[in-house]
C-alpha cells in the first residue's frame, strides 16, 4: 500500500484480492468509469476509500432467520 497526499492507494492486484474479483474485472471497472482510479506513471491504483465504497454499495440486507408461518 502506498500513501500519497494522505490517501492510501492499492495496486489493482491488491484491490482485486480485497474485492475477490479478477485483476481484469477491476481494470475494466476502472476504465469503464464504474470505480475511480488513478494512474501514477504506468501503474493503475485504486484508493482504499473507493474500495470501501464498492463494498458498502454491494452490501445486501440481512434476511430474517425466522421460519415461515404455516397458513
What are the pLDDT digits (tens) for 31-46?
Answer: 999 999 999 999 999 9
Report yes or no on whether pTM surpasses 0.75.
Answer: no
- Domains parsed from the chain with CATH numbers: 2-57 (1.10.10)
For the four alpha carbons of 2, 32, 28 and 25, in that order, the dihedral sign comes to: positive
> What distance in Å separates the CA atoms of residue 9 and residue 15, rounded to the nearest whole number?
9
pLDDT of residue 71: 58
Amino acid at each position: 500500500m502506498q500513501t500519497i497526499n494522505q490517501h492510501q492507494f492499492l495496486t489493482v492486484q491488491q484491490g482485486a484480492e480485497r474485492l475477490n474479483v479478477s485483476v481484469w474485472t477491476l481494470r475494466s471497472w476502472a476504465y469503464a468509469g464504474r470505480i475511480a482510479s488513478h494512474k501514477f506513471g504506468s501503474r493503475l491504483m485504486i484508493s482504499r476509500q473507493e474500495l470501501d465504497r464498492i463494498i458498502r454499495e454491494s452490501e445486501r440486507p440481512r434476511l430474517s432467520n425466522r421460519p415461515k408461518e404455516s397458513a
